[in-house]
């Protein structure tokens, strides 16, 4: 088995794609006006309009209703990223966590929680195979 993607169901794919493109620096790959993916080296964030579920699972998702999932991205410099997210709701400013990640928690335009983090302790950097001199 291979984890491929996490999909966010929304009523505005273009708005979410623009947010994730700005935050990650990756361009969204569009399949249709109702479906786009932001690819990273380890998986993809799929963005789908609620219309895409109508044919096989109507009513299965409620866009903007997430209250239990945090989408996480490891970034080279969370403090630098934070300064580039003007206009974004910041839930928690960059903070160094006890496990060695420096994290910034924000909400995307649909209200989903997104954690951008940078491993800063030796143990956290080792966990992700990051050389201490990088």
Considering only residues 63 and 30, tell me which one the structure prediction assigns the higher pLDDT.
30
**Tens-place pLDDT, residues 80-131:** 999 998 889 999 999 999 999 999 999 999 999 999 999 999 999 999 999 8
How far from each other are the two terminal CA atoms of the chain, in whole angstroms? Answer: 32
> Rounded to whole angstroms, how far apart are CA atoms 63 and 51?
11
If we measure between CA atoms, which residue out of 104, 32, 28, 27 comes closest to residue 71? 104
Q: In a 3-state reduction of DSSP, which class is residue 13? A: helix
The answer, yes or no, to whether residue 30 has pLDDT greater than 60, is yes
**Tens-place pLDDT, residues 37-89:** 999 988 999 999 999 988 888 888 888 888 899 999 999 999 999 999 888 99
* Encoded tokens for 68: 């239990």
pLDDT of residue 58: 85
Q: Which residues contact residue 88 at a Cβ distance below 8 angstroms, ignoring those fewer than 6 apart?
A: 19, 23, 106, 107, 108
Q: Could you tell me if 102 and 79 are in contact, meaning their C-beta atoms sit under 8 angstroms apart? A: yes
Secondary structure percentages of the chain, helix, strand, coil, to 5: 20, 40, 40
Torsion sign, CA atoms 77, 79, 80, 84? positive
Biggest CA pair distance of the chain: 51
pLDDT of residue 38: 97
pLDDT of residue 66: 87
pLDDT of residue 60: 87
């Amino acid at each position: 088995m291979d984890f491929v993607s996490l999909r966010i169901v929304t009523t505005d794919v273009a708005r979410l794609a623009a947010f994730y493109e700005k935050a990650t620096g990756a361009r969204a790959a569009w399949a249709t006006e109702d479906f786009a993916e932001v690819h990273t080296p380890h998986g993809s964030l799929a963005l789908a309009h609620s219309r895409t579920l109508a044919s096989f699972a109507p009513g299965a998702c409620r866009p903007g209703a997430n209250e239990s999932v945090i989408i996480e991205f490891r970034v080279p410099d969370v403090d630098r990223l934070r300064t580039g997210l003007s206009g974004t709701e910041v839930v928690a400013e960059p903070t160094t966590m006890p496990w060695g990640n420096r994290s910034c928690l924000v909400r995307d335009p649909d209200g989903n929680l997104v954690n951008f983090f940078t491993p800063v302790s030796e143990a956290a950097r080792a966990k992700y195979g990051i050389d201490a001199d990088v």
